Amino acid sequence: MQTEKIAAGPPGAGDVYLGGRWSPAADGREFTVLDPATEQPLRTVSAAGAPEARAAVDAAEAAATGWRSTPPRGRSEILHRAHGLLHAQLDDLARLITLENGKALRDARAEVGYAAEFFRWFAEEAVRVGSGFGEAPGGGFRHVIVKQPVGITAHVTPWNFPAAMATRKIAPALAAGCTVLLKPAPDTPLTALAVAELLAEAGLPAGVLGVLPTDRAAEVVGVWMADERVRKFSFTGSTATGRLLLHQAAEQIMNTTLELGGNAPFIVCADADVDAAVRGAMDAKMRGGGEVCLAANRFYVHASVAEEFTAKFGAAMAAVRTGPGLAEGTELGPMVNAAALARIQELVGDALDRGARIAAQGQTPDGPGFYHPATVLTDVCDDARMMHEEIFGPVAPIAVFHDDGEVVTRANATSYGLASYVYSRDVARALRIAERLEAGMVGLNRGLVSDPAAPFGGVKQSGLGREGSHDGIEAFLETKYIALDWPAA
């Protein structure tokens, strides 16, 4: 795969991937993908509609029996090949991610490596799906427990990790023996098309995966949600959209996994190693330009170390090199689109209106591009919108706290519960705080928590279910119990 090849278009007459073939939308509709660094079009992409959505389900149904009957080792080997191909094509795919998403090339390269690990992890999980056989406690018969693929699965992925969010959903579904329908985000469909091409090269049979880029998501997803043949739905995106989709899933009593919004607190205790906390804060805030659901959203710093932390963190943020993602040395690229940039500016304006001040800020390049500088705000009140809403950008609001009970209460004062971060030299203290935090994931003295081998997901309105780890493949399996007559000898 070459970046230029995908940027110019996949082989064939269109961009809708169905039954192992590329085709245009039936009505010829297309939409434009922009380069966030230049605000110029990269290229137009076929926009799937209801006919393609129905055809995708038909193709998945036709391929389902053959795929579920493929031995686990056979499915595993395809995923292992896909893992190798991703690494072999890492540079090309990273450049493609940067072109359509805007993130710095170093972040894009890290994403491809992370995305590849989902293929490797679930290649290993594919051959470890358990079953059970045992005597009934009362005697006279046996319990047979069988794990079977849930069936046709539909997935909707976001733009912030166009490769990793696709592989985190596709890999466990394929490992479990399910067929897959994928609708990528309209801002970043090209990466998903590249992943589809890569899986075909790895030997995935035609029809097992369908990829439908579109700018009319409600039309495509609506068809899937209403089709009783689709038995599993997985979505990563905003809580507001997830809530609507969960209502639709309820109509079919559809098995659903939702990974939704976050509002992660980053707590720096009085006894924290401040230098380590600053390094962790840069990881937790600035990975992917802050456009990450796990990003630290609210910084609570103990009064005794607030001045030192703010000075050191502010200096690190002000030094961040901002520019086009493909430019050498860039650490922060543009935001994904104009709407994302405008929302960040709105949240900053609201905080300033409520008494916050800018403690440190980086520079942005002149000219076009959806750039926002790395920014640290202090004196941010708890009523500021950014303390309750996901910033999804390179802005860090700092608030001061005085005791552990207070900070836990403030950290939990949100409807979200995806991730949290705690820095303290006292591990017992950090664990006590972590156990009281209402979050699905906690980083202790660590600013990065994602790992394909660990369960990823949140509590409260941050979602349902877990991705990654063994939980990830279990989400695509049904448990069948067979009672086997077993006469006494």
- Pick the catalytic residue from 111, 117, 197, 259: 259
Q: What angle do CA 146, 148, 154 make, to 5 degrees?
A: 155
* Helix (H), strand (E) at residue 395: strand 395-401
- For residue 149, the cross-strand partners are 477
293 is catalytic: yes
178 is catalytic: no
Task: Decide if 190 contacts 42 (C-beta within 8 A).
Answer: yes
Angle (deg, nearest 10), helices 72-88 and 105-126 = 160
DSSP string across 13-50: S-SEEETTEEE--TT--EEEEEETTTTEEEEEEE---H
Hey, what are 442's tokens? 């906690």
* Helix (H), strand (E) at residue 81: helix 72-88
Q: 377-404 in b/e burial notation, b at 16+ Cβ within 10 A?
A: bbbbeeebebbbbbbbbbbbbbbbbeeb
Q: What angle do CA 343, 311, 399 make, to 5 degrees?
A: 55
- What one-letter code names the amino acid at 398? I
Task: Decide if 219 contacts 26 (C-beta within 8 A).
Answer: no
- For residue 230, the cross-strand partners are 152
- Pick the catalytic residue from 100, 291, 293, 390: 293
Side-chain-side CA neighbours of 283 within 13 Å: the count stands at 15
Q: Reduce the DSSP state of residue 210 to 3 states and report it.
A: strand
Q: Reduce the DSSP state of residue 290 to 3 states and report it.
A: helix
Estimate to the nearest angstrom the gap between the alpha carbon of 208 and the chain centroid: 22
* Helix (H), strand (E) at residue 421: strand 419-423
Closest among 145, 171, 146, 177 to 157, alpha carbons compared: 171
Query: Could you give the residue numbers annotated as active site?
Result: 259, 293
